[in-house]
Amino acid sequence: MLAFSPVHDAVGAAGAAVSWLADAFAPLTGGAATAAAIVLFTVAVRLLISPLTLAQVRGERRRAALAPEVRQLQQRHADDPTRLQSELFALYRRAGASPVAGCLPALLQAPFFLVMYRLFATGGDGGGLLDERLAGVPLGWRLGDGLSVPVVLVFGVLLAALTGLAWFSSRRAKRAAAATGTVAGAPTEGPGAAMLAGLIPLLPYVTVLVALVVPLAAVLYLVTTTAWTALEQVTLRRPQPESIDKR
């Protein structure tokens, strides 16, 4: 059904780029050339969409900076939802922000992640990419296909890395919520806030669950893109409760 869709064409182009990178790396990395190409291609795409990430972070910071005023308005107009919405809209307009400022960049990033995940989960429909190997394990191999010493070692290392990254991201999310009084840019008080505060730190572990059922190529992609996200958290998403975008 997707054979004639733009997604199919984009996956084909991405597959050609990974194959070219694998050929270029072959003299240096030998049998691990395709695995190295997957990592490099993932990093290149994340660099390509970094302006969207920066826009998303700016939106998150603006919303976090307004969180104390938002809480005051919620308390003041708790019995008048219409007035509350009007006051919130005026607050965001005066600050030059938007309650959904971080959503559009995130949505624009989604097609890139869809293409990469489809490529590494299906081999670009042609499957040739998944026939290559890493330490003797085919890139198309899933844990459910059977266990052997190479499979346990390769998947074990990658799953351990993914779990460590998930733990790091979860801890960062908790610390950011405590420092700014917000969860994902929303106040930690109000309807549904407690449930959101409990859910957000668990989300990074979903990646680990996904890695249990996808091919090795997709696990490599997940580890690389998750590591890049963790790097962004350290460099771009440092909690700044008092001096965020006061321009």
Per-residue confidence of the chain (247 residues) as pLDDT tens digits?
Answer: 445 477 788 888 888 899 899 889 888 888 889 999 999 999 998 898 888 778 777 777 777 777 778 778 777 877 777 887 788 778 777 776 665 555 666 677 778 888 888 888 877 655 578 888 898 899 989 999 999 999 999 999 999 999 999 998 888 777 766 554 555 444 445 555 556 556 777 888 889 999 999 999 999 999 999 999 888 877 876 655 444 344 3
Please check whether residue 240 lies inside any domain of the structure.
no
Quote the distance between the C-alpha of residue 229 and its chain's center: 6
Please check whether residue 87 lies inside any domain of the structure.
yes
Please check whether residue 77 lies inside any domain of the structure.
yes
Full-model pTM = 0.75
- If we measure between CA atoms, which residue out of 52, 217, 194 comes closest to residue 134? 217
Please check whether residue 1 lies inside any domain of the structure.
no
Indicate the residue type of 4: F
Give the per-residue pLDDT at 222.
92
Distance separating alpha carbons of residues 196 and 212, to the nearest angstrom:
26
Full residue range of the structural domain in which residue 174 is found? 6-235
Please check whether residue 186 lies inside any domain of the structure.
yes
Distance separating alpha carbons of residues 225 and 211, to the nearest angstrom:
13
Count how many Cα atoms sit within 13 Å of the Cα of residue 152 in the half-sphere of its side chain.
3
Distance separating alpha carbons of residues 17 and 45, to the nearest angstrom:
11
Contact between residue 73 and residue 84 where contact means Cβ atoms under 8 Å apart? yes
Total structural domains within the chain: 1
Please check whether residue 243 lies inside any domain of the structure.
no
How many other β-carbons are positioned within 10 Å of the β-carbon of residue 38? 28
Please check whether residue 246 lies inside any domain of the structure.
no
Please check whether residue 80 lies inside any domain of the structure.
yes
Give the per-residue pLDDT at 211.
92
At residue 89, what are phi and psi to the nearest 5 degrees? Answer: -60, -40
| Token pair 């997709």: residue | 218
- If we measure between CA atoms, which residue out of 12, 13, 34 comes closest to residue 23? 34
Give the per-residue pLDDT at 245.
42
Distance separating alpha carbons of residues 239 and 234, to the nearest angstrom:
10
| Token pair 């050339």: residue | 33
Give tens-digit pLDDT for 106-158. 677 778 888 888 888 877 655 578 888 898 899 989 999 999 999 999 999 99
How many other β-carbons are positioned within 10 Å of the β-carbon of residue 39? 18
